[in-house]
Structure 1
Protein backbone atom coordinates (compact mmCIF):
# COMPACT_ATOMS: atom_id res chain seq x y z
CA UNK A 1 0.00 0.00 0.00
CA UNK A 2 1.43 3.41 -0.90
CA UNK A 3 1.72 6.30 1.58
CA UNK A 4 -1.39 8.32 0.51
CA UNK A 5 -3.58 5.18 0.68
CA UNK A 6 -2.27 4.30 4.14
CA UNK A 7 -2.92 7.85 5.37
CA UNK A 8 -6.41 7.78 3.88
CA UNK A 9 -7.25 4.38 5.41
CA UNK A 10 -6.07 5.72 8.77
CA UNK A 11 -8.34 8.76 8.40
CA UNK A 12 -11.32 6.52 7.49
CA UNK A 13 -10.66 4.39 10.57
CA UNK A 14 -10.29 7.40 12.83
CA UNK A 15 -13.47 8.96 11.42
CA UNK A 16 -15.46 5.76 11.96
CA UNK A 17 -14.22 5.44 15.52
CA UNK A 18 -14.93 9.11 16.31
CA UNK A 19 -18.48 8.85 14.94
CA UNK A 20 -19.10 5.64 16.86
CA UNK A 21 -17.83 7.22 20.10
CA UNK A 22 -19.83 10.43 19.49
CA UNK A 23 -22.99 8.30 19.43
CA UNK A 24 -21.91 6.37 22.52
CA UNK A 25 -21.83 3.06 20.64
CA UNK A 26 -19.66 0.09 21.49
CA UNK A 27 -18.18 -2.08 18.74
CA UNK A 28 -20.82 -4.70 19.56
CA UNK A 29 -23.67 -2.18 19.26
CA UNK A 30 -22.45 -0.87 15.90
CA UNK A 31 -21.98 -4.45 14.72
CA UNK A 32 -25.56 -5.31 15.69
CA UNK A 33 -26.96 -2.19 13.97
CA UNK A 34 -24.96 -2.61 10.77
CA UNK A 35 -24.70 -6.35 10.34
CA UNK A 36 -20.91 -5.94 10.02
CA UNK A 37 -18.82 -8.10 12.33
CA UNK A 38 -17.24 -6.57 15.39
CA UNK A 39 -13.84 -7.85 14.21
CA UNK A 40 -14.17 -6.15 10.82
CA UNK A 41 -15.23 -2.84 12.37
CA UNK A 42 -12.25 -3.03 14.70
CA UNK A 43 -9.89 -3.77 11.77
CA UNK A 44 -11.27 -0.78 9.81
CA UNK A 45 -10.90 1.50 12.83
CA UNK A 46 -7.27 0.39 13.25
CA UNK A 47 -6.62 0.89 9.48
CA UNK A 48 -5.85 -2.81 9.09
CA UNK A 49 -8.62 -3.23 6.50
CA UNK A 50 -10.04 -0.93 3.86
CA UNK A 51 -13.85 -1.09 3.78
CA UNK A 52 -15.64 -1.87 0.52
CA UNK A 53 -18.38 0.44 -0.69
CA UNK A 54 -21.12 -1.94 0.49
CA UNK A 55 -19.56 -2.39 3.93
CA UNK A 56 -18.98 1.33 4.43
CA UNK A 57 -22.56 2.08 3.32
CA UNK A 58 -23.87 -0.34 5.96
CA UNK A 59 -21.75 1.28 8.67
CA UNK A 60 -22.81 4.78 7.63
CA UNK A 61 -26.45 3.77 7.60
CA UNK A 62 -26.13 2.32 11.10
CA UNK A 63 -24.66 5.66 12.20
CA UNK A 64 -27.47 7.60 10.49
CA UNK A 65 -25.16 9.15 7.88
CA UNK A 66 -24.83 9.24 4.13
CA UNK A 67 -21.44 8.38 2.64
CA UNK A 68 -21.08 12.07 1.77
CA UNK A 69 -21.57 13.07 5.40
CA UNK A 70 -19.07 10.40 6.46
CA UNK A 71 -16.42 11.82 4.14
CA UNK A 72 -17.18 15.48 4.90
CA UNK A 73 -14.18 17.30 6.30
CA UNK A 74 -15.44 18.59 9.66
CA UNK A 75 -12.39 20.82 10.07
CA UNK A 76 -13.12 22.62 6.82
CA UNK A 77 -15.34 25.66 7.46
CA UNK A 78 -18.86 25.34 6.06
CA UNK A 79 -19.17 27.07 2.72
CA UNK A 80 -21.85 26.97 0.04
CA UNK A 81 -19.06 26.49 -2.55
CA UNK A 82 -17.35 23.13 -3.02
CA UNK A 83 -14.13 23.55 -5.03
CA UNK A 84 -13.18 20.60 -7.25
CA UNK A 85 -9.68 20.36 -5.80
CA UNK A 86 -11.01 20.17 -2.23
CA UNK A 87 -13.68 17.51 -2.81
CA UNK A 88 -13.07 14.24 -0.97
CA UNK A 89 -12.16 11.18 -3.03
CA UNK A 90 -12.46 7.54 -2.03
CA UNK A 91 -11.62 4.41 -4.00
CA UNK A 92 -13.47 1.17 -3.23
CA UNK A 93 -10.71 -1.43 -2.72
CA UNK A 94 -12.86 -4.24 -4.12
CA UNK A 95 -14.36 -2.79 -7.32
CA UNK A 96 -11.90 0.07 -7.87
CA UNK A 97 -14.67 2.61 -8.26
CA UNK A 98 -13.69 6.20 -7.51
CA UNK A 99 -16.22 8.29 -5.54
CA UNK A 100 -16.05 12.09 -5.35
CA UNK A 101 -18.16 13.94 -2.76
CA UNK A 102 -19.32 16.97 -4.73
CA UNK A 103 -21.78 18.59 -2.29
CA UNK A 104 -20.47 21.39 -0.11
CA UNK A 105 -19.99 19.90 3.37
CA UNK A 106 -21.86 21.28 6.37
CA UNK A 107 -24.83 22.67 4.43
CA UNK A 108 -28.37 22.17 5.81
CA UNK A 109 -29.54 20.06 2.87
CA UNK A 110 -31.05 16.58 2.66
CA UNK A 111 -29.46 16.16 -0.78
CA UNK A 112 -25.93 14.93 -1.49
CA UNK A 113 -24.26 14.99 -4.91
CA UNK A 114 -21.66 12.38 -5.74
CA UNK A 115 -19.64 11.75 -8.91
CA UNK A 116 -18.50 8.20 -9.60
CA UNK A 117 -16.04 6.70 -12.07
CA UNK A 118 -16.82 3.00 -12.33
CA UNK A 119 -14.21 0.72 -13.98
CA UNK A 120 -15.06 -1.64 -16.86
CA UNK A 121 -16.45 -4.95 -15.60
CA UNK A 122 -16.84 -3.66 -12.03
CA UNK A 123 -19.78 -4.75 -9.90
CA UNK A 124 -21.00 -3.56 -6.49
CA UNK A 125 -24.05 -5.03 -4.75
CA UNK A 126 -25.96 -3.57 -1.81
CA UNK A 127 -28.31 -5.74 0.28
CA UNK A 128 -31.83 -4.60 1.20
CA UNK A 129 -31.86 -2.37 4.28
CA UNK A 130 -35.16 -1.39 5.91
CA UNK A 131 -33.42 1.55 7.62
CA UNK A 132 -32.74 3.11 4.19
CA UNK A 133 -36.39 3.18 3.09
CA UNK A 134 -36.51 6.91 3.85
CA UNK A 135 -33.69 7.56 1.33
CA UNK A 136 -33.93 7.75 -2.45
CA UNK A 137 -31.45 8.46 -5.18
CA UNK A 138 -31.17 9.34 -8.83
CA UNK A 139 -28.38 7.75 -10.88
CA UNK A 140 -27.56 9.93 -13.90
CA UNK A 141 -25.13 8.42 -16.41
CA UNK A 142 -22.78 10.78 -18.26
CA UNK A 143 -20.39 8.39 -20.06
CA UNK A 144 -20.10 4.66 -20.71
CA UNK A 145 -22.62 1.96 -19.84
CA UNK A 146 -24.27 1.06 -16.58
CA UNK A 147 -26.50 -1.84 -15.67
CA UNK A 148 -28.60 -1.36 -12.54
CA UNK A 149 -30.38 -4.32 -11.01
CA UNK A 150 -33.07 -3.53 -8.45
CA UNK A 151 -34.66 -6.65 -7.07
CA UNK A 152 -35.48 -8.70 -10.17
CA UNK A 153 -35.56 -5.74 -12.57
CA UNK A 154 -32.54 -4.92 -14.74
CA UNK A 155 -32.14 -1.41 -16.14
CA UNK A 156 -29.53 -0.70 -18.84
CA UNK A 157 -28.51 2.94 -18.80
CA UNK A 158 -26.94 4.81 -21.71
CA UNK A 159 -25.37 8.29 -21.48
CA UNK A 160 -28.00 10.84 -20.48
CA UNK A 161 -30.31 8.26 -18.83
CA UNK A 162 -31.39 8.80 -15.23
CA UNK A 163 -32.78 6.13 -12.89
CA UNK A 164 -34.73 6.88 -9.68
CA UNK A 165 -34.58 4.29 -6.91
CA UNK A 166 -35.42 3.58 -3.27
CA UNK A 167 -32.29 2.74 -1.25
CA UNK A 168 -34.12 0.25 0.95
CA UNK A 169 -34.28 -2.28 -1.89
CA UNK A 170 -31.42 -4.64 -2.81
CA UNK A 171 -29.58 -3.21 -5.80
CA UNK A 172 -26.45 -3.73 -7.85
CA UNK A 173 -24.29 -1.50 -10.03
CA UNK A 174 -22.46 -3.18 -12.93
CA UNK A 175 -20.40 -1.74 -15.76
CA UNK A 176 -20.72 -4.24 -18.64
CA UNK A 177 -18.72 -2.00 -20.98
CA UNK A 178 -15.08 -1.79 -21.96
CA UNK A 179 -14.69 1.82 -20.80
CA UNK A 180 -15.19 3.43 -17.41
CA UNK A 181 -18.72 4.61 -16.66
CA UNK A 182 -19.01 8.10 -15.21
CA UNK A 183 -22.21 9.06 -13.43
CA UNK A 184 -23.73 11.23 -10.74
CA UNK A 185 -25.66 10.01 -7.73
CA UNK A 186 -28.14 12.51 -6.32
CA UNK A 187 -29.05 11.18 -2.87
CA UNK A 188 -32.02 12.45 -0.87
CA UNK A 189 -31.70 11.39 2.77
CA UNK A 190 -35.41 12.11 3.32
CA UNK A 191 -34.89 13.36 6.87
Structure 2
Protein backbone atom coordinates (compact mmCIF):
# COMPACT_ATOMS: atom_id res chain seq x y z
CA UNK A 1 0.00 0.00 0.00
CA UNK A 2 1.20 3.50 -0.83
CA UNK A 3 2.36 5.59 2.13
CA UNK A 4 1.63 9.30 2.29
CA UNK A 5 3.48 12.27 3.73
CA UNK A 6 0.74 14.58 4.91
CA UNK A 7 2.78 17.81 4.68
CA UNK A 8 2.76 18.42 0.87
CA UNK A 9 4.31 21.92 1.11
CA UNK A 10 4.47 22.46 -2.64
CA UNK A 11 0.94 21.38 -3.43
CA UNK A 12 -1.16 22.91 -0.67
CA UNK A 13 -0.71 26.61 -1.51
CA UNK A 14 -1.70 26.05 -5.15
CA UNK A 15 -4.69 23.93 -4.20
CA UNK A 16 -5.84 26.42 -1.59
CA UNK A 17 -5.48 29.24 -4.12
CA UNK A 18 -7.62 27.34 -6.64
CA UNK A 19 -10.23 26.56 -4.01
CA UNK A 20 -10.33 30.18 -2.87
CA UNK A 21 -10.66 31.53 -6.41
CA UNK A 22 -13.36 29.01 -7.27
CA UNK A 23 -15.24 29.78 -4.07
CA UNK A 24 -15.09 33.54 -4.75
CA UNK A 25 -16.22 33.06 -8.35
CA UNK A 26 -19.10 30.83 -7.37
CA UNK A 27 -20.27 33.07 -4.55
CA UNK A 28 -20.48 35.89 -7.06
CA UNK A 29 -22.80 33.79 -9.16
CA UNK A 30 -25.00 32.74 -6.27
CA UNK A 31 -23.41 29.29 -6.02
CA UNK A 32 -22.42 27.56 -2.78
CA UNK A 33 -20.07 25.04 -1.25
CA UNK A 34 -22.31 22.17 -2.36
CA UNK A 35 -21.66 23.10 -5.98
CA UNK A 36 -17.91 23.19 -5.36
CA UNK A 37 -17.93 19.80 -3.63
CA UNK A 38 -19.99 18.33 -6.48
CA UNK A 39 -17.54 19.68 -9.04
CA UNK A 40 -14.49 18.35 -7.18
CA UNK A 41 -16.24 15.00 -6.88
CA UNK A 42 -16.92 14.95 -10.61
CA UNK A 43 -13.24 15.68 -11.29
CA UNK A 44 -12.19 12.78 -9.05
CA UNK A 45 -14.56 10.43 -10.87
CA UNK A 46 -13.30 11.59 -14.27
CA UNK A 47 -9.67 11.00 -13.29
CA UNK A 48 -10.41 7.63 -11.71
CA UNK A 49 -12.19 6.45 -14.86
CA UNK A 50 -9.47 7.84 -17.13
CA UNK A 51 -6.86 5.86 -15.20
CA UNK A 52 -8.94 2.68 -15.33
CA UNK A 53 -9.39 2.44 -11.55
CA UNK A 54 -12.35 0.99 -9.70
CA UNK A 55 -13.53 2.46 -6.42
CA UNK A 56 -11.81 -0.43 -4.62
CA UNK A 57 -8.56 0.24 -6.51
CA UNK A 58 -8.56 3.90 -5.51
CA UNK A 59 -9.49 2.99 -1.94
CA UNK A 60 -6.45 0.73 -1.64
CA UNK A 61 -4.14 3.30 -3.24
CA UNK A 62 -5.37 6.22 -1.16
CA UNK A 63 -6.20 4.57 2.18
CA UNK A 64 -9.64 6.21 1.98
CA UNK A 65 -12.69 4.00 2.33
CA UNK A 66 -14.65 3.01 -0.76
CA UNK A 67 -17.81 4.42 0.76
CA UNK A 68 -16.25 7.82 1.40
CA UNK A 69 -14.78 8.04 -2.12
CA UNK A 70 -18.16 7.13 -3.61
CA UNK A 71 -19.82 9.79 -1.45
CA UNK A 72 -17.30 12.42 -2.56
CA UNK A 73 -17.72 11.51 -6.24
CA UNK A 74 -21.46 11.99 -5.90
CA UNK A 75 -20.90 15.45 -4.41
CA UNK A 76 -22.14 14.47 -0.97
CA UNK A 77 -20.81 15.58 2.39
CA UNK A 78 -17.92 17.95 3.04
CA UNK A 79 -14.63 16.04 2.71
CA UNK A 80 -11.61 17.33 4.60
CA UNK A 81 -8.64 18.69 2.73
CA UNK A 82 -6.54 15.80 4.09
CA UNK A 83 -8.99 13.33 2.52
CA UNK A 84 -8.73 15.07 -0.85
CA UNK A 85 -4.93 15.01 -0.58
CA UNK A 86 -5.00 11.26 0.00
CA UNK A 87 -7.35 10.72 -2.94
CA UNK A 88 -5.15 12.88 -5.17
CA UNK A 89 -2.10 10.85 -4.27
CA UNK A 90 -4.04 7.65 -4.85
CA UNK A 91 -4.69 8.98 -8.35
CA UNK A 92 -1.02 10.04 -8.57
CA UNK A 93 -1.89 13.61 -9.53
CA UNK A 94 -1.12 16.92 -7.78
CA UNK A 95 -3.91 17.76 -5.37
CA UNK A 96 -4.36 21.09 -7.15
CA UNK A 97 -5.70 19.19 -10.15
CA UNK A 98 -8.83 18.35 -8.20
CA UNK A 99 -9.64 22.06 -7.95
CA UNK A 100 -9.87 22.93 -11.64
CA UNK A 101 -13.29 24.29 -10.89
CA UNK A 102 -13.65 27.37 -13.06
CA UNK A 103 -12.93 25.38 -16.21
CA UNK A 104 -15.49 22.74 -15.34
CA UNK A 105 -18.18 25.33 -14.65
CA UNK A 106 -18.00 26.72 -18.17
CA UNK A 107 -20.97 25.63 -20.30
CA UNK A 108 -18.75 25.58 -23.41
CA UNK A 109 -16.68 22.58 -24.53
CA UNK A 110 -14.14 23.58 -27.17
CA UNK A 111 -13.39 21.06 -29.91
CA UNK A 112 -9.74 20.72 -28.87
CA UNK A 113 -10.67 20.41 -25.17
CA UNK A 114 -13.07 17.48 -25.35
CA UNK A 115 -12.54 14.85 -22.68
CA UNK A 116 -11.52 11.50 -24.17
CA UNK A 117 -13.37 8.47 -22.82
CA UNK A 118 -11.68 5.08 -22.62
CA UNK A 119 -14.12 2.52 -23.98
CA UNK A 120 -11.43 0.00 -24.96
CA UNK A 121 -13.14 -2.66 -22.91
CA UNK A 122 -16.27 -2.67 -25.10
CA UNK A 123 -15.22 -5.70 -27.12
CA UNK A 124 -13.99 -3.75 -30.14
CA UNK A 125 -11.89 -5.79 -32.53
CA UNK A 126 -9.06 -3.26 -32.21
CA UNK A 127 -8.66 -0.86 -29.27
CA UNK A 128 -7.54 1.84 -31.72
CA UNK A 129 -10.50 1.60 -34.10
CA UNK A 130 -12.80 3.92 -32.16
CA UNK A 131 -12.67 7.34 -30.55
CA UNK A 132 -15.11 8.58 -27.91
CA UNK A 133 -15.18 12.18 -26.68
CA UNK A 134 -17.46 13.82 -24.12
CA UNK A 135 -19.36 16.81 -25.52
CA UNK A 136 -20.91 17.86 -22.22
CA UNK A 137 -18.83 19.88 -19.72
CA UNK A 138 -19.74 17.79 -16.68
CA UNK A 139 -20.56 14.22 -15.74
CA UNK A 140 -22.95 15.43 -13.04
CA UNK A 141 -25.77 16.50 -15.34
CA UNK A 142 -28.82 14.60 -16.51
CA UNK A 143 -27.41 14.09 -20.03
CA UNK A 144 -24.29 12.45 -21.41
CA UNK A 145 -23.50 13.46 -25.00
CA UNK A 146 -20.71 11.59 -26.77
CA UNK A 147 -18.95 12.12 -30.09
CA UNK A 148 -18.12 8.71 -31.61
CA UNK A 149 -15.76 7.95 -34.49
CA UNK A 150 -15.27 4.33 -35.56
CA UNK A 151 -13.24 2.67 -38.27
CA UNK A 152 -14.60 0.05 -40.71
CA UNK A 153 -15.01 -3.28 -38.94
CA UNK A 154 -15.43 -1.80 -35.46
CA UNK A 155 -17.68 -4.21 -33.58
CA UNK A 156 -18.82 -4.44 -29.94
CA UNK A 157 -20.79 -7.69 -30.23
CA UNK A 158 -18.55 -9.43 -27.67
CA UNK A 159 -19.92 -7.25 -24.89
CA UNK A 160 -23.50 -6.10 -25.57
CA UNK A 161 -24.58 -3.13 -23.45
CA UNK A 162 -27.52 -3.23 -21.09
CA UNK A 163 -28.16 -0.57 -18.47
CA UNK A 164 -30.83 1.81 -17.21
CA UNK A 165 -31.97 4.89 -19.06
CA UNK A 166 -32.70 5.97 -22.62
CA UNK A 167 -30.35 6.47 -25.57
CA UNK A 168 -30.50 8.51 -28.76
CA UNK A 169 -28.04 8.48 -31.66
CA UNK A 170 -27.67 10.24 -34.99
CA UNK A 171 -25.18 9.35 -37.72
CA UNK A 172 -23.28 12.23 -39.29
CA UNK A 173 -21.13 10.31 -41.76
CA UNK A 174 -20.52 6.72 -42.84
CA UNK A 175 -22.63 3.76 -41.81
CA UNK A 176 -23.43 2.52 -38.31
CA UNK A 177 -25.39 -0.58 -37.38
CA UNK A 178 -27.26 -0.64 -34.07
CA UNK A 179 -28.34 -4.09 -33.00
CA UNK A 180 -31.24 -4.10 -30.51
CA UNK A 181 -31.99 -7.47 -28.94
CA UNK A 182 -30.72 -9.20 -32.08
CA UNK A 183 -32.49 -6.92 -34.57
CA UNK A 184 -30.10 -4.97 -36.82
CA UNK A 185 -30.86 -1.34 -37.69
CA UNK A 186 -28.56 0.19 -40.32
CA UNK A 187 -28.17 3.95 -40.07
CA UNK A 188 -26.88 6.25 -42.80
CA UNK A 189 -26.01 9.97 -42.53
CA UNK A 190 -28.99 11.86 -41.11
CA UNK A 191 -30.65 8.73 -39.69
CA UNK A 192 -31.34 8.64 -35.95
CA UNK A 193 -32.48 6.04 -33.44
CA UNK A 194 -33.96 6.08 -29.93
CA UNK A 195 -34.34 3.12 -27.60
CA UNK A 196 -34.45 1.95 -24.01
CA UNK A 197 -30.99 1.10 -22.68
CA UNK A 198 -32.49 -1.91 -20.90
CA UNK A 199 -32.63 -3.65 -24.30
CA UNK A 200 -29.34 -5.51 -25.01
CA UNK A 201 -27.57 -3.48 -27.70
CA UNK A 202 -24.30 -3.33 -29.55
CA UNK A 203 -22.76 -1.50 -32.50
CA UNK A 204 -20.89 -2.18 -35.72
CA UNK A 205 -19.35 -0.09 -38.48
CA UNK A 206 -20.32 -2.30 -41.39
CA UNK A 207 -19.29 0.23 -44.04
CA UNK A 208 -16.01 0.72 -45.85
CA UNK A 209 -15.27 4.19 -44.43
CA UNK A 210 -15.05 5.80 -40.98
CA UNK A 211 -18.33 6.51 -39.25
CA UNK A 212 -19.09 9.59 -37.14
CA UNK A 213 -22.10 9.86 -34.87
CA UNK A 214 -23.40 11.64 -31.77
CA UNK A 215 -25.03 9.77 -28.88
CA UNK A 216 -27.14 11.13 -26.05
CA UNK A 217 -27.65 9.01 -22.95
CA UNK A 218 -29.76 9.78 -19.89
CA UNK A 219 -28.92 9.24 -17.14
CA UNK A 220 -25.14 9.31 -17.76
CA UNK A 221 -23.40 5.93 -17.73
CA UNK A 222 -19.79 7.08 -17.53
With the shorter chain as reference, the TM-score category is: 0.5 to 0.7
CA distance in 1 between counterparts of 2:167 and 2:178 reads: 13
Match of 1:122 among 123, 130, 154: 154
Q: Which runs of 5+ in 2 are unaligned?
A: 1-46, 69-89, 92-96
Give the TM-score taking structure 1 as reference length: 0.58
What value does the CA root-mean-square deviation take over the aligned residues?
A: 3.5
Taking the TM superposition and a 5 Å limit, the aligned residue runs for 1:24-103 are: 24=67, 75-77=99-101, 78-90=105-117, 92-93=119-120, 94=124, 95=126, 96-103=129-136
Provide the rounded CA distance (Å) in 1 between the counterparts of 2:151 and 2:215. Answer: 16
Change (3 A) 1:159 1:151: same
C-alpha distance 100-139 of structure 1, shift in aligned 2 (>3 A): same
Matched, 1:187 2:188: no
Number of residue pairs aligned between Structure 1 and Structure 2: 135
**2: CA distance between counterparts of 1:140 and 1:75?**
35
- Determine the structure 1 residue equivalent to 2:173: 143
Higher-strand-fraction structure? 1
Bigger helix fraction: 2
Structure 1 spans left out of the alignment, 5+ residues: 1-7, 26-44, 47-72
Q: TM-score, normalised by structure 2?
A: 0.51
Is residue 171 of structure 1 aligned with residue 198 of structure 2? no
Structure (1 or 2) with the larger CA radius of gyration: 2
Question: Deviations 1:38-68 (Å, cap 9, x if unpaired)?
Answer: xxxxxxx99xxxxxxxxxxxxxxxxxxxxxx
- Is residue 183 of structure 2 the alignment partner of residue 159 of structure 1? no
Return the offset for 1:109.
2.7
